């Protein structure tokens, strides 16, 4: 039996496995338009994607630039929570996920998810799309002291699997996610989406157009 090139493969969640980012951007865009600000996908990708504190930065920018002194962050969070259920209705799997995960499991790879999001959020979508059984462990922002771009969530996933970080392959769509996985000492493949492709992913070991281009043979050649 041939030795696998990696002991584990770790996937980011939002934008890598499940496209929650497009609906999230749409909600943020609606919110900003309600207050006279046109939010570009480039601005949103740079300030919000993968950054749990990014909403505060976005809201502060909106409040400062448009003089909405009668509003607060809480008001804006309240409004975006009203918009999310509407835009999230069209949430879909990222292309290639349904084909790739069964193939990797058949090959004998140990699989995990490492996300900056909280556990209920990730569990909700992995359960909805019947992906949870593929993964041995789910490492979330709830499990670590420091979220991405710190390496903690990836190191936690490797620790749960009892594997060396240097024997882990990561798929990520955000810049902070790539930074986190590289800081953990892992091999990182960037999979930019239409909302993150404007970012500089030169830190990653490889950049690909989508998971539909990944096969077990492709990973073997990478390893």
**Per-residue model confidence (pLDDT) at position 219:** 97
Q: What tens digit of pLDDT does each residue of 25-53 get?
A: 999 999 989 988 888 888 888 878 767 67
**Per-residue model confidence (pLDDT) at position 69:** 63
**Per-residue model confidence (pLDDT) at position 47:** 77
pLDDT greater at residue 88 or residue 58: 88
pLDDT at 150 over 90: yes
- Tokens in use for 197? 């492709």
Confidence (pTM)? 0.90
- At 54, is the pLDDT very low, low, confident or very high (cuts 50, 70, 90)? confident
Tell me the pLDDT of the chain averaged across its residues: 92
For 8-19+93-222, CATH gives 3.40.50.1000
Q: What tens digit of pLDDT does each residue of 94-143 get?
A: 999 999 999 999 999 999 999 999 999 999 999 999 999 999 999 999 99
pLDDT at 66 over 80: no
Question: Can you spell out the DSSP letters for the chain?
Answer: -PPPS-SEEEE-SBTTTEE-HHHHHHHHHHHHHHTT----HHHHHHHTTT-TTHHHHHHHHHHHHHT-TT--HHHHHHHHHHHHHHHGGG-EEPTTHHHHHHHHHHHT-EEEEE-SS-HHHHHHHHHHTT-GGG-SEEE-GGG-SS-TTSSHHHHHHHHHHT--GGGEEEEE-SHHHHHHHHHTT-EEEE---TTTTTS--TTSSEE-S-GGG--HHHHHHH-
pLDDT at 11 over 90: yes
pLDDT at 1 over 50: no
**Which of 34-43, 54-63, 156-165 is predicted least confidently?**
54-63
Q: What tens digit of pLDDT does each residue of 189-217 get?
A: 999 998 888 889 999 999 999 999 999 99
- At 12, is the pLDDT very low, low, confident or very high (cuts 50, 70, 90)? very high
Catalytic positions, written as ranges: 12, 14
């Amino acid at each position: 039996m041939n030795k696998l090139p990696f002991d584990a493969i770790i996937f980011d969640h939002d934008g890598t496995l499940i496209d929650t980012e497009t609906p999230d951007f749409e909600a943020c865009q609606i919110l900003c338009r309600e207050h006279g600000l046109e939010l570009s996908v480039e601005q949103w990708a740079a300030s919000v994607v993968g950054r749990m504190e990014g909403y505060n930065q976005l809201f502060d920018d909106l409040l400062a630039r448009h003089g909405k002194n009668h509003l607060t962050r809480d008001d804006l969070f309240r409004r975006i929570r009203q918009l999310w259920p509407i835009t999230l209705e069209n949430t879909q799997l990222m292309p290639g996920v349904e084909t790739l995960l069964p193939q990797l499991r058949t090959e004998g790879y140990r699989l995990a998810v490492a996300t900056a999001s909280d556990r209920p959020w990730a569990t909700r979508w992995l359960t909805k799309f019947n992906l949870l059984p593929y993964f041995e462990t789910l490492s979330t922002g709830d499990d670590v002291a420091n979220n991405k771009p710190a390496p903690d969530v990836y190191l936690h996933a490797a620790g749960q699997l009892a594997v060396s970080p240097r024997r882990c392959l990561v798929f990520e769509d955000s810049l902070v996610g790539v930074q986190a996985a590289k800081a953990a000492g892992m091999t990182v493949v960037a999979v930019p989406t239409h909302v993150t492709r404007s970012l500089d992913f030169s830190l990653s070991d490889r950049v690909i157009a989508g998971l539909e281009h990944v096969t077990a043979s492709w990973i073997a050649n990478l390893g």
